[in-house]
Amino acid sequence: MICRSACTFFLALILSMPAAFAEEGGRKGIAFVQAPEMSSGVCTGANADEAFACARKQCVDGGGTDEDCVAMNYCFPALYSVEVSILHTEGLHWEEFYCGWESKEAALAAAKVACDRERRPDLAECAAVLLYDEDGKQEEVPQE
């Protein structure tokens, strides 16, 4: 009985450690929500629920419906993220999000792989458009 109580205590302690470290370190996660062809939202937060709720609100406020604003991606810690704009040869347009990279350069390298036309010949256009830092601050990616 003592072992069961001790094991339960230690399991609870171990499971609570990542949240405690996140709060102490001030680290944030980043969430991406999208309503294709309509709107999107990007938010940071202390946890996935908080970040997704904020991003979903941005998506709806931007013209998407609650049903169409779909959770796309979440990374913790956020680190650097990149938003890639894609146009399919059949005319559909959407955004892809790649997050959790150690540097801007690594995030841009991920976008380059995502836009590789040899891997994805069905893409008419593909380009990294925005970079996000761990606080969710965005900067435009210069187009060549």
79 located within any domain: yes
Q: Is residue 17 part of a domain?
A: no
48 within a domain of the structure (yes/no): yes
Give the residue-averaged pLDDT of 11-35: 64
Give me the domain span that covers residue 33: 29-140
Q: Is residue 85 part of a domain?
A: yes
pLDDT tens digits along 40-62: 999 999 999 999 999 999 999 99
Residue 55 lies in a domain: yes
- The predicted model gives 113-120 an average pLDDT of 96
The pTM (predicted TM-score) of the whole model is 0.77
With a CB cutoff of 8 Å and minimum separation 6, the contacts of 21 are: 27
The per-residue pLDDT for 26 is: 81
Q: What is the DSSP string of 61-107?
A: HTT--TTT-EEEEEESS--EEEEEEEEETTS-EEEEEEEEESSHHHH
Residue 20 included in any domain? no
Tens-place pLDDT, residues 76-100: 999 999 999 999 999 998 899 999 9
Tell me what pLDDT residue 2 has. 52
Q: Determine, yes or no, domain membership for 8.
A: no
Number of independent structural domains in the chain: 1
Task: Examine residue 112 and state whether it is found in any structural domain, yes or no.
Answer: yes
